[in-house]
A = this chain, B = another copy of it.
Amino acid sequence: MFFEDFEVGFQFTTPTRSLSEAEIMEYARVYDPQPFHIDPGAAARSIYGGIIASGLQTCAVAFAQTLKANVLNESSLGSPGMDKIRWLKPVRPGDEIGVTGTVREVTPSATRPRGRVVIDYEVTNQAGEVVLSYSITHMQRRRSEK
């Protein structure tokens, strides 16, 4: 899809995937080494009752799944920003998460063959609970820009 193909209200879903405890701990040792992400014993004694994924890893996995839906890929020029990230429920090892995206705004550039597409995302687990929500402003090019 190119910029001109995005319409307000367009909705898409992604394939689901899970994170193993090893994947959660491996990411967190590098990027978010807090006890409830990297230490099963300390995590069990924490308010979370066990290992949970770093919130930014959940965002990253959700974005990876979003690319698998192949909606943005062909015309993506990156993103200037992301808003209202809300970590609503913990994501635990084995939780199966998937993403729904809904286009909220489409704004053409006044000067260049591209535009901004604001998409609201909801990430749900295997119980249908929303574990994470956010919106991303995507910069997408038009067909005419090679």
Contact residues of A with B, CB < 8 Å? 30-34, 36, 47-48, 52, 54-57, 59-61, 63-64, 67, 73, 76-87
Contacts and interface: CB of A to CB of B under 8 A. Distances in A.
Nearest to A66: B32
Given A31-B60, A63-B56, A81 B77 contact: no
Contact of A79 (B30, B73, B81, B87): B87
A32 B64 contact: yes
Contacts of A64: 30-33
Nearest to A73: B34
A2 to B, nearest CB: 15
21 contacts: A30-B60, A31-B60, A31-B61, A31-B63, A32-B63, A32-B64, A33-B64, A34-B67, A36-B78, A47-B78, A48-B78, A55-B78, A55-B79, A56-B56, A56-B63, A80-B86, A80-B87, A81-B84, A81-B85, A81-B86, A83-B83
